[in-house]
Chains A and B, each alone.
Chain A
Amino acid sequence: MNGLHATGSPYAPHTEADRKAMLEAVDADTVEDLFDIPAEVRFDDHFGIDARTEREARQLVRSTLDRNDDIVELLGRGHYSYYVPSLVDHLADRSEFLTSYTQYQPEASQGFLQALFEYQSLLVELTGLEIANCSIYDAATALGEAATLSDRVRETTGHRVLVPQFLREERRSTLENYIAGTDLTVETYPVDDGNVDLSGLEAALDREAVMVYAENPTVRGTIEENLATIGSLTDANDALFALGTDPIALSLLQRPADVGVDVVVGDASVLGLPTSYGMGLGLFATRERYLRQTPGRLVGASEDATDRRAFTLTLQTREQHIRRERATSNICTNQAWVALRTAMHAAVLGPSGMVDLAKRGVERAEGLAERLDDLIGVHAPVHDRRHFREFVVHVDQPARAVAGDIERHGFAVHVVGDHEIQVCVAGVSDERLDRFVAIFEEVVR
């Protein structure tokens, strides 16, 4: 039945006898008779895609991907690759989790619902905010959702969304698309040596601002020192304060709720996903007062008919399948399985493991910066700030040439300016960092 399927789908199980009996039952001579498609729009050709055995298909992908250079990535700027414990793959890959659907029948989906409830709880603890949803696609789309939330809940008549001067272009562009249907505008406020320029922000802030966005750590790896002040400034102007961050940073850095943050967004997949060409997990947490305006799915606790605790998707009237054009978002399919992996990874680490991982992110980044700073023609870090995971390096030589030379020795770094490169230590072993310093020294000599 499922040998080498030269023509049919290997996953359609009908034997010839079955097919015959089924056609008879529906009173059709051939399957073609069941298609009610006018001749004018019929496609009677082939796509020109060859069928393959499973082995051949695997081989095709493997040989294609083998064209990727195998180099050590000292890359971050929003996408990180920490070591993911084996338990995560083995348990998340259990096919009940992997092959289930959205939990529209909660009585048969208690396990996944509880896992998502645990994920929500993890974010509540990390952020100090009261509610977290099951996921948005990634950090950029979560930022977009935060802006439309601010548009819905604002008490002012304003329309200005303020974002920092240092921000990934793709993130800003995604935000611009998300607000295209509103009267919001995106404006930039200045930064000062890798942190928010407070006087610049204050000058930019007025009653017309509905949201201020900041990041901690920033895209250039600096730890933001002015969060509480930003919180007060936004509060004084009745604007929402949205912060972009991630679960590892949150394990150590200031708790958003303590500094006046109203919405936390960012990429939660720093835990749970290995490097995956930018695939992520949009985290979204906010205050209880915005519950009815929150986008995305929410899992709530309830009771079943025998009064036992049970979990279910709840407050679905916010969502597109019920509220249609008046929904809080158009999101339907989300990143649930990645959220499961994130919760698993966090659970394996435990609180002390998460804190340690975060501390190492500070110590190893700052340690590497010191070592690079000792080299001739190199200054690191460029910003006179505390750093998390990554930092910017000034090189006297053209940055692109330096990065190219480094890459020929098997290491990838970011080029972020004519004389600036950026390096990230997340997921890179100490031995490799040693080798990287040696190569760097050779390259800039």
Chain B
Amino acid sequence: MTDDRSPERVASQSRYDQARYIENGEYEPLLSEKDLTRIEIERVADDGGGAGQKTGHADVEETAENGTANVNATSGGSPLPDDLTRDSLELPELSEPELARHYTRLSQMTYGIDSGPYPLGSCTMKYNPKFTEDVAALPSAAVHPDRPDESIQGTLEVLYRLQDYLARIGGMDAVTLQPPAGAAGEFVGIRVATAYHQHNGEGHRDEVIVPESAHGTNFASAALGGYDVVSLPSDDEGRVDLEALEAALSDNTAALMLTNPNTLGLFERDIETIAAMVHDAGGLLYYDGANLNALLGRARPGDMGFDVMHYNVHKTFATPHGGGGPGAGPVGVVEELAPFLPAPTVRERNGSSRSDEQVYERVDPDRTIGNVHGFHGNWLVLLKTFAYIARLGDGGLADASASAVLNANYLAEQIDYDIPYGPFHHEFVASAGEQDAADVAKRMLDYGVHPPTTKWPEIVPEALMTEPTEVESKATLDRLAAAFNAVKDEADETLKSAPERTTARRIDQTSAARTPRLSWQALSEDS
């Protein structure tokens, strides 16, 4: 139940003053006596007298006993002159116990992976191990980025080893950990491609090819990098259309961005041909790591001919999504592109001052593109990633992809909706057919599960893009399938009026967009 009250506000009249209207002695001090520098009483209606400047609460109480007044209390003076400061700050004032309840209540109105299955296609909502939270809370993890290398060897070693882990997993030669999200990783890849082409005197390349079924970020990242985006249609089987690719490639091609398996869960079986075609045209092949969970230990982008890739560590390596972020999007590249990576990366220093331990240092790659973050990216996320990979090791990572693919295939087998494309790996796209996929999703909420991603990719009509990940048990998958199948048999009006069992009933999106109310302040203006 959403609370309709806007937060209690404290009125402010002048510089950090707090004012209160009092009536016949009903006076609760606004500021403690020690903070008080001045109290002014402005009589509104009384028997006269008592107004003016006072020094303490007692004066006010005495005055207020026989009348009604506005009281202005001023706290300690500002250390700054008036022209450098603001006049007031109006924010809710709540006690700590009230806040604890407020946020507990809000958390209870939020569905997380710990609440139940979360089979959002392309999002890889895995269980987030709890020990990595403890690791991130270690006091020794809290260092300032401007500390000299010598005094933060622990942090640099974690980063160095994570770079190494990711390079091995992706089959890449060098890795930067700076990008703070997957899309930021894509942008780094695009900027690296630009720098590489310019360095080779090929700065005229101004096109990036992106399959129609790709993530929206691919298009947006390429555009942010200044490229014209060439959209590539799929063939009848849902994969890259080689003829269309041939037609799209030219002397202007900077890169082709691919996800493999693609958003339909299909492996691009012609990947070596595709790589050869792109390279022959002088372009680079970019790997979008959103679906890497399907390949762990089974295939590596570097072995397929990809030149540059990003890793969505919050997906593949199970760092919490936290309501939409933070994540991290490290980027791996082949040797030839390593000099262009963002600054700095971490390397081992030869000749160590502590003979028994390896010493690490931050260095700027020779022809670096510079920075894509003010410091070193989302360190706490990277730290959790390192801990997760160190926990799973080779066997655990390979099992993650095996179980994820088994789960997707098993779930698909149990549900009655049509799945037009296959063989898929870690995710599949079902079609809601005559039903509206968005309504199907709303109704699934009533069965206590989170629905799949809907209406995308557009190649499947009324798409239900489903990715159970490896963490769901057979029993949970059966429950999930039952929810799908129950909804499939339900009447249209049932779907249209769903959800019924959530905190809020169906929310009016049109009104939200037509009359944007983006703050409490905007709401109070309305009322």
Contact = CB atoms under 8 A, between A and B. Distances in A.
A109 B231 CA distance: 34
A2 to B, nearest CB: 11
Given A75-B147, A278-B379, A300 B518 contact: yes
A135 B451 CA distance: 26
Contacts of A77: 146
Interface in B358-401: 369-381, 383, 386-387, 389-397, 399-400
Contact of A51 (B158, B168, B374, B394): B394
Given A148-B224, A330-B221, A351-B91, A57 B378 contact: no
Contact of A108 (B111, B387, B453): B111
Contacts of B403: 8-9, 12, 14, 31
A330 B135 contact: no
A330 B521 contact: no
Contacts of A13: 471-473
Contacts of A310: 2, 504, 507-508
B373 A140 contact: yes
B219 A61 contact: no
Interface stretch (B62-70, B175-183, B486-494): B175-183
Task: Give the interface size class of chain B.
Answer: 35 or more
A371 interface: no
Interface in A276-312: 276-280, 291, 297-306, 308-312
Interface stretch (A34-42, A153-161, A235-243): A34-42
A408 B216 CA distance: 51
Nearest to A137: B180
B182 A333 contact: yes
Task: Give the interface size class of chain A.
Answer: 35 or more
A266 to B, nearest CB: 10
A65 B322 CA distance: 24
Given A98-B320, A276-B379, A330-B187, A110 B405 contact: no
Interface stretch (A86-94, A197-205, A376-384): A86-94
B349 interface: no
Given A102-B321, A277-B145, A330 B229 contact: no
Given A12-B470, A176-B370, A333-B182, A135 B325 contact: yes
A185 interface: no
Contacts of A344: 99, 103
Given A65-B158, A99-B112, A118-B7, 10 more contacts: A7-B396, A26-B406, A170-B375, A176-B370, A181-B223, A254-B85, A278-B379, A306-B505, A326-B223, A336-B325
Contact of A49 (B131, B142, B393): B393
B60 interface: no
Contacts of B112: 95-101
Contact of A97 (B78, B322, B423): B322
Given A62-B140, A91-B100, A223 B507 contact: no
Contact of B518 (A131, A148, A331, A347): A131
Given A65-B140, A107-B506, A325-B223, A314 B321 contact: no
A421 to B, nearest CB: 12
Interface stretch (A206-214, A355-363, A430-438): A355-363
Contacts of B234: none
Contacts of B409: 26, 28, 34
Contact of A311 (B1, B2, B114, B131): B2
Contacts of B267: 35-37
Given A78-B374, A325-B222, A350-B94, A7 B425 contact: no
Contacts of B381: 279
Contact of B155 (A18, A277, A330): A277
B20 interface: no
A22 B103 CA distance: 41
